Amino acid sequence: AYYFKEASHTFGEYLLVPGYSSDKCIPANVSLRTPLVKFAKGEEPKISLNIPMTSAIMQAVSNDTMAIALAKEGGISFIYGSQTIEEQAAMVSRVKNYKSGFVSSDSNIMPSTTLGEVLALKQKTGHSTMAVTEDGTPTGKLVGIVTSRDYRISRMTLDTKVETFMTPFSKLIYADAETTTLSMANDLIWQHKLNMLPLVDKNQRLRYMVFRKDYTDNKEHSLELTDKNKRYLVGAGINTRDYAERVPALLKAGADVLCIDSSEGFSEWQRITLKYIHENFGEDVKVGAGNVVDKEGFRFLAEAGADFIKVGIGGGSICITRETKGIGRGQATAVIDVAEARDEYYKETGIYIPICSDGGIVHDYHMTLALAMGADFLMLGRYFSRFDESPTNKVRINGTYLKEYWGEGSNRARNWQRYDLGGDKKLSFEEGVDSYVPYAGPLHDNVMLSLSKMRSTMCNCGSLNLAEFRDKAKLTLVSATSIVEGGSHDVILKDKFRGND
């Protein structure tokens, strides 16, 4: 037998040691943009995410409602595959056909986005103007407009409320998108000597910008900031059995990316599946594979053609694989090892294959640690299952609100394909549990909070983007005693006394 030299560790056993933060290191300047699929040196990945979060390929997590909510934030869901092909394709298609209130693709821009990045997007989309919202979401407050005029590029900072939207002439005027026609808008523009006029809907959300005739090219413009053509990114899980039928149905429904969902990815079944998909549907169809926990597993899937590789066995909150089968590896060690393999592969071939840390995230800071250790993005099950948007029941037990959350390898999900080694089409024994998680409210609020912690930590480590963070991060293992030191200790929490009042 081969023995790994060191024990494998998980996130809770590590801490980050701060590095020098310059005065540029403020959370608003941090970009969390990350590649989702592989790309060659010097090229752009075909799909990137604005935040490094994906939701798990699970019945209790990723349906169409979750996918829309997460895409709005800049992440992506992988719709669960343990349902019929028709049902799964219908979910994908509901996401793709969802009419969003999003302020167009350009609105997915946060103040942290650099001017250069906005300009590149402007060029790509052909828009003369772009809206920048406070948190990069359609419903976020408008904080800036990037526009080009006389070949000069400027970024205007606006008052944060649409009601007090400032035009270049500091006029405080806006109009109702429901009742104002384009010609009425133009009249208003001339009457009030404006350069542009924002139109808002009844919820005061910005819907259109109307520009003065000579503003850029002597033509009248109205930019619809809801850009009805916008379609959210969505992924879908597949398995190593019915891919010949499932993949075309998902692609037809509009899936942007696929992922082989398996508890153990270092297998010939995955190689055959990847080969079939790329040969029959072309290299443009992007497929992730996994899960693996060491360099050898990474190399195998990289050579088999995976577009991204998921890391993690046995670390999921609902997972009992380590107890039932005795396989797995501490999640932090697995990520560190596989990230090294990814970097070696990149050096050798010039191909960067993003890796995803899947499972085992308990606290928000674990996400940040996983990214520091080399993950390009994260897959989260328990985290998202707690939100309003997850597909499960909300129940009240002993005065506490909870949501149901169950594993794909539990008797409830019976996703035998995920554990398939050839042979019987059934789940021979359970590898997951059926459980409750504390209900946590809407996805948007929670994701914003988690990301703001992530951005702060990155600033403490002197990093403004994820690649820089991976390079600069300094990590230390901590002893069991110092873990105790990390929580509140040697004080009596006031909460404990409430019952005795």
Contact set for ligand MZP, span 37-76 (CB under 6 A): 56, 58
d(CA 259, CA 266): 14
Q: Is 356 a catalytic residue?
A: no
Print the binding letters for residues 1-40 with ligand MZP: x by CB under 6 A, - otherwise.
----------------------------------------
Q: Which C-beta is closer to ligand MZP: that of 74 or that of 288?
A: 288
**175 and 167 Cβ atoms separated by less than 8 Å:** no
Here the tokens at position 197 are 């006029």
Here the tokens at position 433 are 């549990």
Please tell me whether residue 382 binds ligand MZP under the rule CB under 6 A.
Answer: yes
d(CA 298, CA 264): 12
Please tell me whether residue 360 binds ligand MZP under the rule CB under 6 A.
Answer: yes
Residue positions counted in the chain: 501
Q: Is 461 a catalytic residue?
A: no
In one letter, which amino acid is 475? L
Report, in Å, the least distance between residue 147 CB and ligand MZP: 42
Report, in Å, the least distance between residue 431 CB and ligand MZP: 4
Please tell me whether residue 257 binds ligand MZP under the rule CB under 6 A.
Answer: no
Largest CA distance in the chain: 83
Please tell me whether residue 379 binds ligand MZP under the rule CB under 6 A.
Answer: yes
Q: Is the peptide bond prior to 97 cis by the omega test (within 30 degrees of 0)? A: no
Report, in Å, the least distance between residue 3 CB and ligand MZP: 25
**475 and 372 Cβ atoms separated by less than 8 Å:** yes
Report, in Å, the least distance between residue 356 CB and ligand MZP: 9
Scanning 36-44, 207-215, 406-414, 480-488 for contacts with ligand MZP by CB under 6 A, the matching segment is 406-414
Per residue, the 3-state secondary structure of 99-139, as one string, reads: CCCCCHHHHCCCCCCCHHHHHHHHHHHCCCEEEEECCCCCC
Q: In this chain, which residue has its C-beta nearest to ligand MZP?
A: 432
**376 and 466 Cβ atoms separated by less than 8 Å:** yes
From the list 73, 64, 72, 70, the residue with the least C-alpha distance to 93 is 64
Dihedral (Cα; 213, 217, 222, 228), 10-degree rounding: 170
Contact set for ligand MZP, span 289-318 (CB under 6 A): 316-318
Q: Which C-beta is closer to ligand MZP: that of 70 or that of 206?
A: 70
Print the binding letters for residues 427-446 with ligand MZP: x by CB under 6 A, - otherwise.
----xx--------------
Q: Which residues of this protein are in contact with ligand MZP, per CB under 6 A? A: 56, 58, 316-319, 321, 358-361, 379-383, 407-410, 431-432
Write out the catalytic residue numbers: 319, 418
Which residues participate in the annotated binding site?
A: 261-263, 312-314, 316, 319
